[in-house]
Amino acid sequence: MIGISFTQASMAARKRIALVAHDHCKTFLLDWAERQKDKLAEHDLLATGTTGQLLHKRLGLPVESMISGPLGGDQQLGARIAEQRVDMLVFFWDPFEPQPHDPDIKALLRVAAVWNIPVACNECSADYLLSSPLMEQAHSYRIPDYPAYLSGRR
Ligand SMILES: O=C(CO)COP(=O)(O)O
């Protein structure tokens, strides 16, 4: 990435996990979340609108819900990532159906890559993430050095 320098940030042991699923993938996410409930309960959960409502109903855990995805929820989560208020994204996006808010979805996935947060796009990768020893410990990771970026923008 030209013109961007990086710095180290600390990710706390307790993660802020964003959970999102498109309609045809919601059952997969809900079943996965129920299976992983004990692990998820150790972290803070947030989600797009419908996904959050369904997760709360299924798990009985607190879930901070944004607006529904097609109405701007993906963008809300993207903004939280840019503000370093989300540590991890589990997004079961639908590989078989076009979505009306595709630009928002791309933007969410892009900003997650920019800020170097772990992303799982399906059940198997989500299992790999949750089974990482890093889930239970604070660790440092690389993020864009925004003050350095800004001082170079003269
Ligand atoms: O569309 C979504 C993500 O792009 C998900 O939104 P909902 O959780 O509101 O269905």
Q: What is the CATH number of the domain that holds 109?
A: 3.40.50.1380
> Is the shortest distance between the CB of 73 and ligand 1 below 6 Å?
yes
Which value, in Å, is the radius of gyration of the alpha carbons in the chain? Answer: 16
130 within some domain: yes
| Residue 75 within a domain | yes
**Burial class for 83, CB neighbours closer than 10 Å (0-12, 13-18, 19+):** exposed
Residue 86 within any structural domain of the chain: yes
154 residues of the chain, pLDDT tens digit each: 567 899 999 999 999 999 999 999 999 999 999 999 999 999 999 999 999 999 999 999 999 999 999 999 999 999 999 999 999 999 999 999 999 999 999 999 999 999 999 999 999 999 999 999 999 999 999 999 999 999 988 7
Please list, in sequence order, all residues whose beta carbon lies within 8 angstroms of the beta carbon of residue 22, skipping any fewer than 6 positions away: 69, 92, 93, 94, 97, 99
> Which pLDDT score, from 0 to 100, does residue 148 have?
93
Tokens of 4: 């961007």
Q: Whose CA is nearest to atom 2 of ligand 1?
A: 69
Any known ligand binding at 49?
yes
Domain that holds residue 81: 14-139
- Say how many domains are in the chain: 1
| ipTM score for this prediction | 0.99
4 part of a folded domain:
no
Task: Look at residue 152 and tell me if it is in a domain.
Answer: no
